[in-house]
Amino acid sequence: MRLVIVTGVSGAGKSSALKMLEDAGYFCVDNLPIPLIEKFASLMAGSQGEEAENAAMGIDARSGNSLGELEKVLDRMKEAGYGFEILFLDAEDRVLVKRYKETRRSHPLAMNGRVDDGIHLEREKMGFLKARADYIIDTTHLLTRELKLEIDKIFVENTGFRNMVISVLSFGFKYGIPADADLVFDVRFLPNPFYVDELKPLTGMDEGVYNYVMDNETAREFAGKLEAMVKFLIPNYVREGKTSLVIAIGCTGGKHRSVTLARVLYDRLSETREYGLRLEHRDIGRDSIVKK
């Protein structure tokens, strides 16, 4: 029996993660009172035969003052030999605020104040859980289906996991550098398919453009050096405690060269499944939108 404690900051995706675990066959309980957690773990550990199930319980700021007792409860469970794992869902403050505004929900700790104040207070209260977490998933840049892939990888496929989600993002400099980029690379020095009539209307997702961009030693050498540097940096960022990394690759319009190199880097990083990985082309369709 596998017992997972699903927690995190409000708005980061805890309810979605619980639903995904439920779909994967886990028996899920949300917002269980803190004093009943040990009893729940005892009952699940004592289940036999067909009744024995993997289980997950959601814990968050709604526990109120009882949240302060949780650390002692977890210590007692560990001493009693109850095996459990902690999954902590996190996201950047600006994204959490945006999600609350979109859903028009009030933050559980904001009372009648600002959402920002509720988020700050919640981070203080939940800090000990994040410090104890076995898995931290930053959902700042994740779509729901991408979160599901990470949940399945950890709790269904039982593959290795590092607390890092890497986003490889192509963009166009004429539309601005992504504000959330951690690393920015400029590939405007590479041959530009924009000036080839048959390639101009295509994108880096088309093999003609892809082959044109990569069919020279400069592009191949750059791709190799970029891969080596990123693979060197990632474990160092992990040790520093970073859980989300955005690698932005830009060309003039974000349609040809940047898309191609983003694809190359993504494919090379995909060869290992140590980290969460996603690919996004921010401006790939922007030219057609602007012309309308």
- Name the domain boundary from 94, 121, 155: 155
Q: Is the domain of 252 the same as that of 231? A: yes
Reported as a single tens digit per residue, the pLDDT across 35-76 is 899 999 888 877 655 455 799 999 987 776 677 789 899 999
Q: Is the domain of 74 the same as that of 138? A: yes
pTM metric for this prediction: 0.71
- Name the domain boundary from 129, 155, 181: 155
Reported as a single tens digit per residue, the pLDDT across 83-133 is 899 999 999 999 998 888 887 777 777 766 788 888 888 899 889 999 999
Specify whether the CB–CB gap between 257 and 186 falls below 8 A: no
Instruction: Kindly state whether residue 14 falls inside one of the protein's structural domains.
Output: yes
Q: Is the domain of 151 the same as that of 171? A: no
DSSP state of 181: -
Whose CA is closest to 139, among 279, 243, 238? 243
Domain that holds residue 15: 3-155
- Name the domain boundary from 125, 155, 185: 155
Instruction: Kindly state whether residue 160 falls inside one of the protein's structural domains.
Output: no
Q: Is the domain of 128 the same as that of 197? A: no
DSSP assignment string, 71-108: HHHHHHHHHTT---EEEEEE--HHHHHHHHHHHTPPPT
The SS3 assignment for 288 reads: helix
Q: Is the domain of 56 the same as that of 174? A: no
Q: Provide the strand spans (E) within 160-266.
A: 165-172, 183-186, 244-251
Domain count, the chain: 2
Q: Is the domain of 277 the same as that of 225? A: yes
